[in-house]
Amino acid sequence: MSDIDPEELQGHRSHLIRYAMLQLRDPNLAEDVVQETLVAAIESRAKFAAQSSPRTWLVGILKHKIIDLLRKRAREPQLNVAEGEDENELVDALFKENGHWADPPQTWNAPEQSLENAHFWNVFEQCNQRMPLNTARAFMMREFMEMSTDEICQELGISTTNCWVILHRARLALRECLDMNWFGNAR
Amino acid sequence: MIDCKHNTELLSQSYDRPITLRERIAMRMHLMMCRGCRNFEKQLTFLRKAARELPRKL
Ligand SMILES: [Zn+2]
């Protein structure tokens, strides 16, 4: 049976750190979960060797480690995310008094091609980092971790309605940020 | 007739919960008449796709 090449694992490391940072925004915590992920990978190296896409497999382990960590932290009240990260300002700026778009969304040019562009992913990452922590975290649980809304509410200790509101704001914010910084509809 | 603000809320929630028939009809009616919201709807689809590809792309 072949051992994991340490260099190969290292090759995945920076990628995993970037991914963990998006969710945790704390270099030390990100370092910890990635370390645990790599250890877990080494412990089940037979499985690692059998992967057609080791990176996807590693990200799968990492997701579970991140969820475990967030769960643990949710139980420690002092680490709870502050209530009232107020993003109503954004919604107020996007819509007029009468509920119509202040500035209706324009068409995005060839969005599919953007997915193949490394620079697009940098912008996407930055747009995520610009969101308030609680908002970004809920969005990532939903879209990257593919958790159900019920699970997310539970983890974050918020009501279902609040969860929908937060996810909606996240999408509005992300859309706006990509619109201005990538699709070139700067105003 | 729902406005854009409400319509975008429903569009977004359609990604998070089952939408009632009444809500679906309200959205369709609005979308027929509103280009801004049609663009928004397409962009929401793109956002989900992009977010779910992120682990492979970073
Ligand atoms: Zn509209």
In a domain, A169, yes or no: yes
CA A135 to CA A128: how far, in whole Å? 9
Span A122-154, pLDDT tens digits: 999 999 989 988 888 899 889 988 889 998 888
Tell how far the Cα of A93 is from the centroid of ligand 1, in angstroms: 15
* pLDDT top residue among B57 and A115: A115
Distance between the two ends of chain B, CA-based, in angstroms?
42
Determine, for residues A125 and B56 on separate chains, whether the beta-carbon distance falls below 8 Å.
no
Instruction: Report pTM.
Output: 0.84
Span B2-54, pLDDT tens digits: 999 999 999 999 999 999 999 999 999 999 999 999 999 999 999 999 998 88
Question: By CB neighbour count within 10 A (0-12 exposed, 13-18 middle, 19+ buried), where does A109 fall?
Answer: exposed
| Structure tokens belonging to residue A90 | 């954004």
Residues A112 and A70 in one domain: no
Residues A177 and A93 in one domain: yes
Span A105-122, pLDDT tens digits: 999 999 999 999 999 999
Number of domains in chain A: 2
Span A13-46, pLDDT tens digits: 988 999 899 888 889 999 999 999 998 988 887 7
Determine, for residues A121 and B3 on separate chains, whether the beta-carbon distance falls below 8 Å.
no
Residues A90 and A132 in one domain: yes
In a domain, A1, yes or no: no
Residues A70 and A105 in one domain: no
Span A41-100, pLDDT tens digits: 888 877 777 777 888 889 989 988 998 888 777 665 443 344 455 567 788 899 999 999
Q: Which of A116, A14, A100 is nearest to A55 (CA)?
A: A14
Pure H helices in A54-159: 54-74, 88-94, 111-114, 118-130, 133-143, 149-156
* Domain boundaries, position A127: 86-181
CATH label of the domain that carries residue A106 = 1.10.10.10
